[in-house]
Structure 1
Amino acid sequence: MHPLAPVRPRQATPERPVGVDRVLLVLKELGRHPQAVSLDELARKVGLPKSSAHRALTALRRAGFAEQDGPGRYRLGLELVRLAFEYYEHYDERTLVLPALQALVERFAETAHFARLDGGEIVYVAKVEPPKRHALMSSRIGGRNPAHCTGLGKAMLAHVLADDDAVEAFVDEHGPLVRRTRRTLATAAELAPELERIRCRCYALDDEESEEGIVCIAFPLFLASPKLPSGAISVAALAHRTPRAALEAAAGEIVSLIERHLGPVTR
């Protein structure tokens, strides 16, 4: 072989993970067992021989990423927890999501938002508009809108309000919910089935429910927790220029663009 010829890295396969892949498999599986897990069960879960699982645990324990909790039982180490919290303290979600927003604007030539849920409202954290194609919207960075009538808000509420009782409690606490347009869903009876539809299809739609003439599609983002969204991303448009049906038809492409920049954070 020529000394400058590229060396092909050894490829790991789902059937036979190798080297660092084994360590990462074991690390991820440990994260699913906060009360610790035995070596036998761990090896079975990740599909490795006990000897391989044990070697991976040894490497993780050296780094402080795993620790032994009684004879033959293991869990995540406090060093990993410390690193995770240190990272999260300096975590800037706005900087993280901006490349995804910019990619969406470049692709669709419409406005992209990132917002967080705060009680009964959303707070806009980031907004990117297409050059020379602005649309007059009420959204502004740091501004707020009611969660129940925005795509961003409904995308998050669908996972925060898990059942009809939770929706009723939300409406009781934050109601009476304002009807921004004739299409706004402002009662628990209207909102609950809409949130169920969002959970089923994995995205929310705003069909001129917040502002006349403005439609959007929004996706919850699970950046920090696998259960509760950290925020949501949307593509918002003038209805006469990009109809709601066109946004909905592009749902799969939008998810692909988001996850190309952020990883598997949608659901």
Structure 2
Amino acid sequence: MANDSGTANEDAHRLVGAERVLAILAELARHPGGVTLEEMARAAASPKPTVHRALASLSRFGFAAKNSRGHYVLGDEFLRLAFAHHEARPDHVRVGPLLHSLAERYGETAHYAILDGAEVVYRSKADPPFGAVKLTSTVGGRNPAHCTAVGKMLLAHALPDDAAVAAWADGRTMERRTANTLTTARALAAELRATRERGYAADDQENEAGIVCVAVPAYLTSPTVPSGAVSVSAPAYRTPLDRLVRQVPAIRAVVAVREAAR
């Protein structure tokens, strides 16, 4: 029994240690310009020796490194693995040309996103080749599903009726991002009903003030279940929402061509 208890304690300690290293890695990713050991310790709310050991472990595997100023940054090996994995993803390979086609055609930003619980994750993005204003969204970034066009499009499929929407919203706080954000189950259910009926979703400055968006489902891996959603987003002053909505049939046609090639 003593040996079993000791092993359990050691496993728990190793798990905590691994979680600590991963937390340091995640914090390191928030400082693309580099961060000192002291700054990292403050950000991670951990003692400097603990943070130093975690950074040393990451450095041994090439996941962390020091730049010319002696600041810690993400290591080249971590970046290589991340980019290689992203580029090899089947959905990314399929959707890249589609997004670039949409960005070039409309002069606005195109995204591909998947649903992950109550959030959307942006898997791919294409900025317009020209234009002074580009969106700050990033590949791998997340936003609440209830206030984004891609999120509402995917929720409309995942939650087939008002009862499912109510169950999903029960006990969940829907963050108010702007004055236009839908924050009640009833309002979201009505919006998802409309989304199902018209076959596209819209974001009328609900996630970010001044930004509008339309989204359609993308069936890249299955003919019946969306693998994700494709959107076109724009500053409202440059491309009003009603103008984007008029382009939905053309956007859907571009997506359909790529789906046919799966």
In the superposition, the TM-score normalised over structure 1's length comes to 0.62
Amino acid at match of 2:218: L
How far apart, in 1, do the equivalents of 2:255 and 2:224 lie? Answer: 18
Contact 1:121 1:153 in 2 (8 A): yes
Alignment of 1:53-72 (within 5 A): none
Hey, what does 1:114 align to over in structure 2? 112
What does 1:141-156 align with in structure 2 at a 5 Å threshold?
Answer: 141-156=139-154
Q: Which residue of 1 aligns with 2:128?
A: 130
Structure 2 CA distance, aligned partners of 1:262 and 1:225?
9
Match of 1:8? none
Render the CA deviation track for 1:40-80: whole Å, top value 9, x for unaligned. Answer: xxxxxxxxxxxxxxxxxxxxxxxxxxxxxxxxxxxxxxxxx
CA distance in 2, matches of 1:195, 1:134: 33
Taking the TM superposition and a 5 Å limit, the aligned residue runs for 1:26-175 are 92-133=90-131, 135-173=133-171, 175=172
Contact 1:135 / 1:237 at 8 angstroms: preserved in 2? Answer: no
C-alpha distance in structure 1 between counterparts of 2:208 and 2:103, whole Å: 20
Match status 1:207 vs 2:208: no
2:188 counterpart of 1:188: no
1:186 shift after superposition: 1.2
- 2:217 aligns with 220
The alpha-carbon distance between structure 1 residues 100 and 134, as it changes in their structure 2 partners (threshold 3 A), is farther
Contact 1:101–1:112 at 8 Å: present in 2 too? yes
Structure 2 CA distance, aligned partners of 1:91 and 1:180? 31
| Aligned equivalents of 2:132, 2:103: Cα separation in 1 | 11
Deviation at 1:131, TM superposition (A): 2.4
Counterpart residue type for residue 184 of structure 1: T
Q: Secondary structure at the match of 1:205?
A: strand
Report how far residue 134 of structure 1 moved: 5.2
Change (3 A) 1:239 1:264: farther
Deviations 1:61-110 (A, max 9, x none): xxxxxxxxxxxxxxxxxxxxxxxxxxxxx861011001110110111000
CA separation of 1:223/1:194 partners in 2, compared to 1, >3 Å: closer, same or farther?
same
Partner residue, 1:176: 173
Please state how far the C-alpha of 1:147 moved relative to its aligned partner. Answer: 0.3
Q: Contact 1:160–1:228 at 8 Å: present in 2 too? A: no
**How far off its partner does 1:264 sit?**
8.7
Separation of aligned partners in 2, 1:96 and 1:122: 19
Q: Give the counterpart letter for 2:160 in structure 1.
A: A
Amino acid in structure 2 at the alignment position of 1:195: L
Q: After superposition, what is the alpha-carbon deviation per residue over 1:210-240, rounded to whole angstroms, capped at 9, x for unaligned?
A: 0000000001112233443210000000000
Unaligned runs of 5+ in 2: 1-87
Amino acid at match of 2:212: V
Q: Distance in 1 between matches of 2:120 and 2:141?
A: 8
Q: 1:186 to 1:227 in 2, by over 3 A?
A: farther
CA contact (8 A) 2:103 2:129 kept: no
Q: State the distance in 1 between where 2:136 and 2:188 align.
A: 22
Displacement of 1:200 in angstroms is 0.6
CA displacement at 1:136 relative to structure 2: 5.0
RMSD, matched Cα:
1.7
CA shift, 1:258, in A, is: 1.6
- Report SS of the residue matched to 2:170: helix
Identity %: 47
Query: How far apart are the structure 1 equivalents of 2:128 and 2:149?
Result: 19
Q: Which has the higher helix share?
A: 2
Q: Displacement, 1:255? A: 1.1
